[in-house]
Amino acid sequence: MKYQKHYQSLLDEKAKLVENIDKKYAIKVREADAVARPAIEQDKKERVEEIEYKFQEVIDMLLQNYSANM
């Protein structure tokens, strides 16, 4: 149960981070010209991927810890 709560907390935190990135980049895209938009979208994609990667690392550590304590 402890791990499930921690996992849900991590999911919530990740969702907030991605939502903040979406908002930030939506503003940048609206303000940018057509030439700059693809680069902005690529930067956004890379930031979301980085969050996903880091989140997966944390989940892997959580699962290892859970398995070790079972």
pTM for the full predicted model: 0.81
What distance in Å separates the CA atoms of residue 11 and residue 19, rounded to the nearest whole number?
A: 12
Q: How many domains does the chain have?
A: 1
Q: Decide which of 43 and 7 is more confident.
A: 43
Q: Calculate what percentage of the chain has a pLDDT beyond 90.
A: 67
Q: Which two tokens stand for residue 6?
A: 């921690």
State the Cα–Cα distance between residues 31 and 1, nearest whole angstrom: 45
Q: Predicted confidence band at 66 (pLDDT cuts at 50, 70, 90)?
A: confident
With a pLDDT cut of 70, the percent of the chain lying above it is 96
Structural domain including 61 reads 2-68
Residues 6+ apart with CB under 8 A from 55: 10, 14
Q: Which token pair is 26?
A: 């939506």
Cα four-point dihedral sign 10, 11, 13, 18? positive
